Amino acid sequence: LTVPDRPIIPFIEGDGIGIDVTPVMKKVIDAAVEKAYAGKRQISWMEVYAGEKSTDVYPDGSGLPAETMEAIRDYVVSIKGPLTTPVGGGFRSLNVALRQKLDLYVCLRPVRYFTGTPSPVKHPEKTDMVIFRENSEDIYAGIEWAAGTPEVKKVIDFLTKEMNVENIRFPESSGIGIKPVSEDGTKRLVRRAIEYAIANDRESVTLVHKGNIMKFTEGAFKNWGYELAKEEFGAEPLDGGPWMKLKNPNTGRDIVIKDSIADAFLQQILLVPEEYDVVATLNLNGDYVSDALAAQVGGIGIAPGANLSDTVAMFEATHGTAPNIAGKDLANPSSVILSAEMMLRHLGWTEAADAVIKAMEGAIASGNVTGDLARLMDKPNQVGCKAFGEELIRQMG
Ligand code: NAD
């Protein structure tokens, strides 16, 4: 990625607490860039509209104007707050629509612990994982029909008469969803996960699946994952397999490629999180695993994320619009700030990203935190969203 010293970065403010957290994020990131590069580099923020805010500007009411899509595609790197899908706008979810239209097939969710963050587990510092969630397939593809519709009747007819599906309970009162999982969709995701493990000197990549039950979708995901590791990265069986290992060409260290069944995995990440590192998984598993892991290190209020295609990188807050606290200066801005930190690293602006991390460590240790964290701490000093941003800037020195 070639990055000018003053890149234009489109941002979507977001609905609900988007109006609280996004302006604070911009201030904190500007301060970190200034701290690191003393005016030599600067982000030129460009607001683009989506969700509720867009319907004032774009009368089509879809919540996802063409200009916004073009800006995200053309400027390559962007950031967004949470979005409400307008009722009657034509999309089931704006977030899913964005991911599908731009083919943002990776949902990247790093999970790390900042000392002092309240956590429900005894040793949250043992959790340090990076989740690669497949974002474009699986039951989230949106191919489904409601119970009692003519479509359901047709599908049941087809399955029973032409596909010989029998001996299972399958009344017309069933809702039906389709779960597509493809070889190329799986391999492009697992490739990104292994490339990440190599570039960041990580110890293992775990393929998380329910292949014991869903053999041709989740089981195939696992098999294709191992196959890719062997064919493209030269992985070899470990102790006779099925686990594999490959040599990191940069460091010479082994990277273990292993798999775990999703239900057992949810137990293991609580009991032995230190055994897992990079994780590659399907869309629905990834959704559950990402938020469950986020809770272990402080919750979705401080969990960052990004959606990636082969070219476009859209960084985003992982929480929703939190309408219960919107506009009240109560929200924790850390999720979108740490997403912006990932964005700085993606731009290669490592010094500015490091300044954000140092500030976050300092701010959390200071105990001056927003309500979501304060209510779980022994001696907190609850501050608002804006004041937390100021604390972060103060911590940069
Ligand atoms: P939510 O994330 O908005 O809220 C869940 C809980 O977490 C609430 O109690 C909320 O107050 C709290 N919370 C969330 N973010 C917080 C923050 N930054 N600081 C402090 N507390 C925070 O989830 P929800 O209630 O299920 O969804 C609300 C709306 O958001 C829905 O319209 C949903 O469609 C939308 N949503 C959007 C996205 C997105 O844009 N990526 C993601 C999830 C949900």
Q: Quote the pLDDT of residue 21.
A: 98
Rounded to 5°, angle at Cα 233 from 230 and 234: 55
Distance CA 290, CA 175 (A): 27
ipTM rounded to 2 decimals:
0.92
DSSP letter at 7 equals -
Tell me the mean pLDDT in the region 109-136.
93
Residue 302 C-alpha to ligand 1 middle, in angstroms?
Answer: 12
Q: Quote the pLDDT of residue 379.
A: 78
334 lines ligand 1 (CB under 6 A): no
Q: Are 67 and 48 spatial neighbours (Cβ–Cβ below 8 Å)?
A: yes
Q: What percent of the chain has pLDDT over 90?
A: 79
Q: Quote the pLDDT of residue 166.
A: 76
- Measured CA to CA in angstroms, residue 287 lies from 262, 292, 335, 390 at distances of 12, 9, 16, 32
> Alpha helices, DSSP H only, in the chain?
18-37, 52-57, 66-75, 94-101, 150-157, 183-199, 220-233, 262-271, 283-296, 334-347, 350-366, 371-374, 385-395
* Ligand 1 atom closest to residue 316's alpha carbon, by position in its atom list: 41
What type of residue is 358? K
Closest C-alpha residue for ligand 1 atom 32? 84
335 lines ligand 1 (CB under 6 A): yes
Cis amide bond preceding 242, omega within 30: yes
> Which has more pLDDT, 118 or 304?
304
Residue 322 C-alpha to ligand 1 middle, in angstroms?
Answer: 4
Tell me the mean pLDDT in the region 184-188.
98
Q: What is the pLDDT of residues 311-331, one digit of tens each?
A: 999 999 999 999 999 999 999
82 lines ligand 1 (CB under 6 A): yes
Q: What is the mean pLDDT of the chain?
A: 93
Q: What is the DSSP string of 324-381?
A: TTTTTT-S-THHHHHHHHHHHHHHT-HHHHHHHHHHHHHHHHHTEE-HHHHTTSSS-E
Rounded to 5°, angle at Cα 111 from 368 and 181: 145
Three-class secondary structure of residue 41 per DSSP: coil
Would you say residue 232 has pLDDT above 80? yes
Closest C-alpha residue for ligand 1 atom 38? 320
Would you say residue 94 has pLDDT above 90? no
Closest C-alpha residue for ligand 1 atom 7? 322
127 confidence band (pLDDT: 50, 70, 90): very high
Q: Quote the pLDDT of residue 213.
A: 95
Identify the CA nearest to 9 among candidates 35, 53, 48: 48
Considering only 117-126, 311-320, 343-352, which range has the smallest mean pLDDT?
A: 117-126
Closest C-alpha residue for ligand 1 atom 9? 322
User: What are the structure tokens assigned to 126, written together?
Assistant: 């043992």
Identify the CA nearest to 179 among candidates 143, 220, 232: 143
* Residue 274 CB neighbour total at 10 angstroms: 14
Distance CA 161, CA 158 (A): 5
18 lines ligand 1 (CB under 6 A): no
User: What are the structure tokens assigned to 66, written together?
Assistant: 């063409």
Give the number of C-alpha atoms closer than 13 A to the C-alpha of residue 220, restricted to the C-beta side.
Answer: 13
Q: Quote the pLDDT of residue 299.
A: 86
Tell me the mean pLDDT in the region 235-262.
96
Q: Quote the pLDDT of residue 290.
A: 94
Ligand 1 pocket test: pick from 319, 330, 373, 388 the residue with the most ligand atoms within 8 Å of its Cβ: 319
Neighbouring residues of 351: CB distance < 8 A, sequence distance ≥ 6 = 36, 37
Q: Are 330 and 385 spatial neighbours (Cβ–Cβ below 8 Å)?
A: yes
Q: Are 131 and 108 spatial neighbours (Cβ–Cβ below 8 Å)?
A: yes
What type of residue is 201? D
* Ligand 1 atom closest to residue 324's alpha carbon, by position in its atom list: 11
Three-class secondary structure of residue 118 per DSSP: coil
320 lines ligand 1 (CB under 6 A): yes
- Measured CA to CA in angstroms, residue 193 lies from 111, 198, 324, 344 at distances of 15, 9, 36, 20
Would you say residue 169 has pLDDT above 90? no
* Ligand 1 atom closest to residue 325's alpha carbon, by position in its atom list: 11
Distance CA 110, CA 279 (A): 10
Tell me the mean pLDDT in the region 56-73.
87
Would you say residue 167 has pLDDT above 80? no
319 lines ligand 1 (CB under 6 A): yes
Q: Quote the pLDDT of residue 90.
A: 64
Closest C-alpha residue for ligand 1 atom 35? 320
Closest C-alpha residue for ligand 1 atom 30? 320
Distance CA 24, CA 333 (A): 7
Q: What is the pLDDT of residues 198-210, one digit of tens each?
A: 999 999 999 999 9
Q: What is the pTM of this model?
A: 0.92
According to DSSP, the residues that pair with 107 across neighbouring strands are 133, 307
Q: Quote the pLDDT of residue 180.
A: 97
Q: Quote the pLDDT of residue 57.
A: 82
